[in-house]
Structure 1
């Protein structure tokens, strides 16, 4: 199990990352909180959850950007 971020519900970094990675669209922070249950009792972990969420969203955007084919990749430089 990954390090617990939310000790009330024992939600770890992995669970938050999985909640961000699932689905075709990037979920909102509120959706991630609902899916994982983090911050639902005392709210002490919300700052940590938000930081992990922002980090994972940025990572996902970079990964998606790297999968988009460039429009000029079929060009060959040997042609006159």
Structure 2
């Protein structure tokens, strides 16, 4: 994962739009709260920048996949239009 990709991920996570959409209340009951996701992903990115290791890249990918799984899987029927 290049530094450019990590910078883009960081900008996306830090954007007000993500916080607005998730914090708007429309997702109550459908999407888990983010908890410490932002802090966790920021730490993982810093670790990668310091170590530049395969394990650091994998940890970032795992955290992002977990976030997507928690966000998309519970809403699969909405996404597929089966509501």
Q: Which has the higher contact order (CA 8 A, sep 6+)?
A: 2
Give the structure-2-normalised TM-score: 0.34
Give the structure-1-normalised TM-score: 0.35
Tell me which structure has the larger Cα radius of gyration.
1
